[in-house]
Amino acid sequence: MHKKFYFISICLAIIMFTSTVNAQKKDIPDYSMTPRSQVPKEYKWHMEDIYKTRDEWRADKSKVEGMLEKIDEYSKGWTSDAESMLKLFRYSDDIYRILGKLSSYSGNESNMELSNSELQVMNGEVQNLYVNTSVKLTFMRDDILKMDEKVLMGYFESEPKLKEYEFGVKEILRGREHTLSKEQEKIISMTGLFTFVPSQTSSFLNNVDMPPVTVTLSDGRNVALNTANYQLYRGSANASDRTLVMRTFWQNQKKYENTFSSLFDGGMKQHLFYAKVRNFKDCLSSRLFGDNIDESVYNMLITSVHKNLAPLHRYLNLKKELLGLDTLKYDDIYASSVKNIETQYTYDEAKKLVLEATKPLGAEYTAMLEKAFNEGWIDIYPNKDKESGAYSSGLYDVHPFVKMNFNGKYDAVSTLAHELGHAMHSYFSSKSQPYSTSDYATFIAEIASTFNENLLIQYMLKNETDDMLKLYLLDNYLDQARGTIYRQALFAEFELAMHRRVEEGKSLTPDWLDSKYLELTRQYYGHDKGVTKVDDYIQCEWSWIPHFFMNYYVFQYSTGMISSMALSNYVLNGTDTDREKYLTMLKAGGSDYPVEILKRAGVDMTKEESFDAGFARFDSLVAEMERLVAKLKADGKL
């Protein structure tokens, strides 16, 4: 899944933006085939903020190993009084805080050089430490469940410093029927030694081992279709180029689908294993239990999407019209609908836009964004063997780190705003909460990220006077909303089908995976209604989605954006109280269940009307785009 410059006046902001859009193609640095060591330091995040040398990393690793050996002495009589309980809780936190630093360093660095064997070894060592720690501490849950509940709750009254652990202890009590014996829990903990294998192997195959196919574009350039180039050229303004890129990339991907299907089969069956051994009826209930999310939220999302496919299809019909196509093909999905405008932004321009767009969140928020930009929180450009995509990774005792693969397109600017939303969430949570309740749920996390995307597009539309540029921006935002709401809901429905199949005792074969994915893609994109022609080649796209290994993760992108649409509207059009309610949500961490935290911010995702409001917003933006197209046609500009 997870962060100068000041405008003199709003007029300068408008001038800067307009000149950016109409400028000549910018020279965006290309390090996609450059070894990591040769990328300039100013473009790389500062891992030295965690450890200046790998010897420091190894010293902390040894420290944790020593701390694990002392757990037995802390465990003696630890439930006999509040003071002893507090002592062990704090000691456990100390171990996990160091583990967090070890993991952040080796994991983030490894993602910069996926083929680096030394970093792979370090990752494995941290994984083993986590497993060993989990095994050593399994007695804590067992001991708590054996206590007299009145005595246990009395400890929180007698020792105020213990209060920060009360929510976590109550969670243990809530999960009583899904908790195994101490010895069984140790066995479950040890499975952590290999649970990451399907996900990691899939990542290596997609990002390192699979040889990229080279294509010759219409201008004569030969382009190797690694992940970065595929994502860049699939949206080409030239229809033949994007068809060539899309079909060539996925035809090459399909050659490896037997391996991918085996990895996905193993990954989903791991989820089933954990659900069954912990006495859950299925994988979905197992996954949602931890965050206390009712299954109706998941099912309501899928139902609401199917009920609201019409606005998506209207948007896709607009795309076909603007691209001048007789038939909109899936090949065309990533192309900008506004053919005669190609925007490109330098990274410095992207920073300025993000800072200006998020000003409604106040001075404290802006100050921390400045810090993120200026103090090495962000890794900016692709390099050889760098993991694709973007993420934000929080670290309690240091600061968040943001991975980008910035390519100069507007969606890269929006991605920067998105990931910095995560980073600010992590920062505010860490600064406002004790370590024990600082880790917020993903269900909330995807609100903070898409919230910033909403602020960015609102800022862009407000400050642009050129209707053609407005059309471009509106199209880009709606395409991102398509990808975040509808596409992720498609993934959620596909993931549900995968889990249901393994729950029925069946295996995930390439034929089944291809067939199901193609069926859903055609349904969502209106293949049978003549909206989008979805050809067979896209049937193996499932093999490229790493989030499926994360066990019902993707639905939260959709619910997050639906929620953030409402919250950003409150902040932009409401009072200081609305802004403070949102910032309070960012600072709440994991101090309560995510649905409850979100309710206090102003959105109740257990209610169908919350989903309806999100889709109504999407529908209104499509209608705005339709009006803009009509106006431009009347003015003779289209």
From residue 516, alpha-carbon distances to 19, 109, 405, 520, 540 in Å are 46, 36, 31, 6, 10
Catalytic site includes residue 419: yes
End-to-end CA distance of the chain: 39
DSSP calls for 568-622 = HHHHHHS-HHHHHHHHHHHH-TTSS-HHHHHHHHT--TTSHHHHHHHHHHHHHHH
DSSP string, 377-444: -EE-S--TTPPSS-EEE--TTS--EEE----SSHHHHHHHHHHHHHHHHHHHHHHHS-GGG----HHH
Which among 89, 49, 4 has a CA at the least distance from the CA of 352? Answer: 4
CA distance 212 to 376: 31
Rounded distance between C-alpha atoms, residue 455 and residue 451, angstroms: 6
Nearest to 393, CA basis, from 402, 381, 380: 402
Q: How far is the C-alpha of 36 from the C-alpha of 294, rounded, in Å? A: 44
Active-site hit among 113, 164, 185, 419: 419
470: part of which helix (H) or strand (E)?
helix 467-481
- Cβ atoms 422, 444 nearer than 8 A: no
25 SS3 class:
coil
Contact 460, 473 (CB under 8 A): yes
Measured N-to-C along each axis, helices 510-524 and 257-277 cross at an angle, to the nearest 10 degrees, of 90
Active site positions, annotated: 419
